[in-house]
Structure 1
Amino acid sequence: MVTFFSPTEAYLLRGCLQAGGVPAMVADAQLVQAHGLLASAIPVRVLVPEKLMRQAESVVAAFQRGDFALPEDELAPGDTTDPLP
């Protein structure tokens, strides 16, 4: 579906897709991490089932629009501290 040069970015997208109900997996991340000098030549792939590609594209578009962003003044559950001004 998508490639990255950073395994971290690939895992973030995988989590986003999974949260949106699309099963996803990261491929080649260990290869990039093991061979750091080749990282720019070996992309990390995020894979989804072909039959769910449209749903995956809509989840990615929602993520890029910021639909999954938390408001900066929102507290985490159970957090009683005041948010930053």
Structure 2
Amino acid sequence: MDAEALPGRDLFVVAKCMVPTDAFLLQGCLVASGVPAVVADAHHVQADLLIAPALGGVRILAPAAFLAQARDILAAYERGDYALDDDADVGVALD
């Protein structure tokens, strides 16, 4: 799958979400893994969820140099690699 490029920018669409919160979650996974990802169109969609389909959703963008890494991270997220067990204690720091 080819990533959609933003004209005149070194940014590519690596994912799209219909809900802004989902987009920020994916962006957080990417940034935590070293990919300088940004979210675009979240404010438009948040203001009026009915325009989300017309805009194509909220876009998560990453630079060309990070496309392969971003795809791997998003695939891991979809597989559930980052999911916590139901009994996971999230209040304790993991060393």
Decide: shared fold, TM above 0.5. Answer: yes
Aligned to 1:83: none
Deviations 1:24-57 (A, max 9, x none): 1000111112233322211210001111000000
Say if 2:50 is the partner of 1:37: yes
Tell me the matched-pair count: 78
Across the aligned residues of Structure 1 and Structure 2, the Cα RMSD in angstroms comes to 1.4
- Quote the Cα distance in structure 2 between the aligned partners of 1:46 and 1:70: 23
1:3 alignment counterpart: 16
Instruction: Kindly provide the amino acid, as one letter, of the partner of residue 45 in structure 2.
Output: V
Deviates further, 17-26 or 35-44: 35-44
Q: Out of 37, 49, 71, which is 1:57 matched to?
A: 71
**In structure 2, distance between residues paired with 1:45 and 1:26:** 6
Q: Show the counterpart of 2:41.
A: 28
2:59 aligned with 1:48:
no
4+ runs deviating over 4 angstroms: none
TM-score normalised over the length of structure 2? 0.73
Gaps of 5+ in 1: 79-85
Percent sequence identity over matched residues?
47
Q: Which has the larger strand fraction?
A: 2
CA 1:35–1:74: 2 relative to 1, 3 Å: closer
Kindly name which structure, 1 or 2, has the bigger radius of gyration based on alpha carbons: 1
